[in-house]
Amino acid sequence: MNKPKFSKIMIRYWGRKDSNLVENYILSLSKDGDVLLDPFAGSGSIIAKGLELKRRGIYNDLNPVALIIAKANIKRKETKVKLSKRHTDLYKINYQGEKRDVSYYVWEGNKIVKAKLYLGPLLDYQGKDVDVEIPYPYPKDALYYPDGRPFEKRRTVDRVDGLFTRRNLLILSEILSELPKDEKALAAFISILYQASKMSRPNAGPWGVPCYWIPYRRVERNPYLLFENALRRINKMGNGWIEGDVDKVLKKEADVTFLNADAKDLPIPDKSVDLIVTDPPFFDEVQYFELSYFYAAWLKVRLDFENEIIVNRKREKDAKKYVKDLEKAFREIHRVLKRDRYVVIMFHEESEEKVKEIRDMISSFFTIVRENEATMRQRIIGDRNIEKGKELKIIVARK
């Protein structure tokens, strides 16, 4: 059996694009000091690239979890966390006459069959979960909508806490209770949740199967080790950009601002933005809010499902409503963009009919000047054509 990867801790945010894809567009369609907006900014990779290229940035995303991830990725300020580690014995086993720390347990069905010692071998081991009281708050949120319908992405569990062993619920809730409320610490915490959950599989990266399910063979990782490793990595991210509000960015008194607003109603003045580069949600490709619910439940942040632009049959959001909502967002994009300036829109090409519908909608606001394609090295999401799912359509249009 191959050993599960342990050292590569990343925050899984679906549909993230390689920021190098947009570098040439930013350089050719704007100049130093110009204001770059991404109204569907997700993990912030486009805005981060713009800042690297000496542009000022306006980040916006309706998802507060995405906002935390973006700030952790972009802002340089480090955070220090000292954990009490009251429950380290839950990840210790006897080996050659002494107690040794365990990096992870390997489960098959309802029992532990192996244990990987920290800086040591992978051992055959018989074990189980522990029955412990948990004195800290932990999420018991149901994976259902208020009307009783289950999430599209719910498979084998009903609640968030059902995705964790009691051992890891205890340790994770303890860690969260001790964290400062800053983006670096919170991003480090949410970055370990999948790998500390029952969904984590041997030799799999961060959340390779985008739904809520528990595989037969899985890996239960030590949250203390995961968190310390994640915090080290996240503290290295970002740069010394000056953060301010929208007005300060427009006046060149700040480098970047972070908005958590509906793209259909942007709090940005008319004709104030020099370039817009964005990767909007594409029909039903990724259920961003449903998958972010896993993180939001732990952080106790609200997700505005009502205003999410998505196709989701459980929420009676069909393709017609999606196009109508996206049209409202593009009306806002048109409003805030300066005259004779450009918008770059990226989305996966899969259905020619859908592509035409989006192209027609864009052309009702802007003049399309060119269309390009790029090949994406990205996981296929849902029932997607393997070849076409890798093709990224890029439309460049002018106001």
Judge contact between 231 and 182, C-beta under 8 A.
Answer: no
DSSP string for residues in 34-59:
-EEEETT-TT-HHHHHHHHTT-EEEE
| Confidence at residue 207, expressed as pLDDT on a 0 to 100 scale | 75
Q: Give the mean pLDDT of the chain.
A: 90
pLDDT band at 18 (very low <50, low <70, confident <90, very high): low
Identify the residue with better confidence: 390 or 399: 399
| Confidence at residue 1, expressed as pLDDT on a 0 to 100 scale | 35
Q: Look at residue 249 and tell me whether its pLDDT is greater than 60.
A: yes
Separation of alpha carbons 344 and 29, rounded Å: 9
Weakest-pLDDT range from 268-282, 293-307, 348-362: 348-362
DSSP string for residues in 109-152:
TTEEEEEEETTS-EEEEEE--------S-----BSB-TTSPBPT
Judge contact between 241 and 255, C-beta under 8 A.
Answer: yes
Q: Give this prediction's pTM.
A: 0.90
Question: Tokens standing for 280?
Answer: 């909007």
Weakest-pLDDT range from 66-70, 88-92, 136-140, 283-287: 283-287
Separation of alpha carbons 25 and 186, rounded Å: 32
The tens digit of pLDDT for each residue in 160-219 reads: 999 999 999 999 999 999 999 899 999 999 999 999 999 999 877 677 778 899 999 999
Segment holding 343, helix H or strand E = strand 337-348
| Structural domains in the chain, sorted by start | 19-76+238-398 (3.40.50.150), 88-170+194-222 (no CATH)
| Confidence at residue 377, expressed as pLDDT on a 0 to 100 scale | 53
With a pLDDT cut of 70, the percent of the chain lying above it is: 90
In which residue are the tokens 């086993």 written? Answer: 93
The DSSP output letter for 223 is H
